[in-house]
Amino acid sequence: MAFLLGQDYLMASFGDREALDKEDVAVIRELGLRFRGPMNWPQLRSHRPGYFPWHVTGREARFLAVALRQAAVVSRRARKDPSILWDGASRSLHRIPEGVEPTWRDELREDPGPLAPPRGVLPDPASARRDVVAARRLPGERWEVEVLPARVRAETRQGRPYVVHLALWVDQGARGMMRYEMLEPDDVPRAVPVTTHDLIGLIGAPEAVLVTREEVRSLLEPLLEGTGVGLEVVPRLPGVERARALVNERTGKNRPIVFAHPRW
């Protein structure tokens, strides 16, 4: 589940009638379409990081329709000549549109690889970094920062269910857990660096901030780069593990929340 919640793509799959929900069936009926037999019923889903798979929008449906038409064209050709799909090294076939009513051409391109994790968003990054440089120094102090997807389902204003994210700030020394926040996925890139900035202004600047993943490092880099505060990726955050258990205890009295290991 954690892997799927980190993906950003559109998907068309074909399965049994029982796999569809009432919205899928309503769209099929409205379009006057008929499907019979197993593994013949289409299901279209939009995947966004931090959100549960959801029904496609009109714009997403139009894009997916184009992609499916091109996939059909390529699959028919590949039956006769599979070598068109790949050059045997690192380049694969891409279909490139040209013109307003496009004609399509083939091009072999390098795999672009995974997308870089989103960077943190600050209203004024330069000013925020100056605040960190000017803050009282805390020699030897090391903070742990983590963002964890919680197995909690909620609703956005548009009705799309998302995964609540728990952000934790822990001092490895006497202070222990300094703060935690429950966030919507779209709020994470701004909330994590802004809250870190506010804590530094209130307490002082630690010697280093520790994270376990590049995703979190990328959120803090715009704030800490060039400030003299270290930003380190480490294998484990024991303070966060203890703080997570404490948050579970506090929030679980009325409605239990179980936090998953991060990869959002």
* Residue ranges of the chain assigned to CATH 3.30.420.10: 125-251
- Count how many Cα atoms sit within 13 Å of the Cα of residue 47 in the half-sphere of its side chain: 15
Q: What is the sign of the dihedral through the CA atoms of 112, 118, 119 and 121?
A: positive
Model's pTM, two decimal places?
A: 0.81
CATH of segment(s) 125-251 = 3.30.420.10
**Tens digit of pLDDT at every position of the chain (264 positions):** 344 456 789 999 999 999 999 999 999 999 999 999 899 999 999 998 888 889 999 999 999 999 999 999 999 999 999 999 999 888 999 999 999 989 999 999 998 877 788 899 999 999 999 999 999 999 999 999 999 887 667 778 678 888 889 999 999 988 889 999 999 999 999 999 999 999 999 999 999 999 999 999 999 999 999 999 999 999 999 999 988 887 766 665 544 444 333 332
Query: Which pair of structure tokens corresponds to residue 146?
Result: 């983590």
User: What Å distances lie between residue 75 and 40, 43, 70, 108, 158, CA to CA?
Assistant: 18, 20, 8, 16, 36
DSSP codes of every residue in 10-62: EEEEEE-GGG--HHHHHHHHHTT----STT-EEEEEEE-TTB--BPPPHHHHH
